[in-house]
């Protein structure tokens, strides 16, 4: 997205890694990242909508630095879950993300962090 990285300076350095899974046909809530986030798509594909900055699709094997200042959401329109290795580079006490609208629901399954579908997806189930 061409943004300058902004590292939090309000605490000791803290790096968190997780594998995030987004089920087929679902999407995340609209959000921003409070710390730099590097990601690598392990499986599937995800399309990220950056509103007036456009959409980008990331596929298995793609690496990226996610936008911090542009609100966005990711959608898995494919037939299989998308699995993404995420690395948040922040500081102790710094928020990893800021969410708009419905709350982002996360839980763990088989060692992955699974992102629950947005309210639009939940309405269909």
pLDDT 10s digits, 39-73: 999 999 999 998 899 999 999 999 998 877 788 89
- On whether the CB atoms of residues 105 and 116 are closer than 8 A, the answer is yes
Low-confidence ranges of the chain (pLDDT < 50): 98-108, 112, 114-125
The label of the residue with tokens 């579908």 reads: 117
pLDDT of residue 120: 36
The label of the residue with tokens 């990226």 reads: 64
Architecture of the domain defined by 21-124? Sandwich (2.60)
- On whether the CB atoms of residues 100 and 31 are closer than 8 A, the answer is yes
User: Residue 91: phi, psi to the nearest 5?
Assistant: -140, 155
User: Residue 34: phi, psi to the nearest 5?
Assistant: -85, -10
pLDDT of residue 46: 95
Q: Give the start-to-end residue ranges of the domains of the chain.
A: 21-124
Pairing of strands 37-43, 82-91: antiparallel
- On whether the CB atoms of residues 66 and 49 are closer than 8 A, the answer is no
């Amino acid at each position: 997205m061409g943004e300058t990285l902004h590292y939090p300076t309000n605490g000791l350095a803290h790096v968190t890694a997780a594998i995030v899974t987004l089920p087929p046909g679902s999407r995340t809530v609209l959000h921003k990242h409070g710390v730099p986030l590097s990601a690598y798509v392990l499986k599937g594909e995800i399309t990220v909508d950056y509103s007036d900055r456009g959409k980008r699709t990331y596929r298995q094997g793609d690496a990226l630095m996610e936008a911090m200042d542009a609100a966005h959401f990711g959608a898995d329109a494919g037939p299989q879950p998308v699995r993404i290795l995420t690395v948040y580079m922040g500081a102790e006490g710094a928020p990893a993300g800021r969410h708009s609208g419905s709350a982002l629901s996360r839980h763990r399954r088989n060692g992955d962090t699974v992102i629950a579908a947005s309210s639009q997806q939940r309405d269909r189930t």
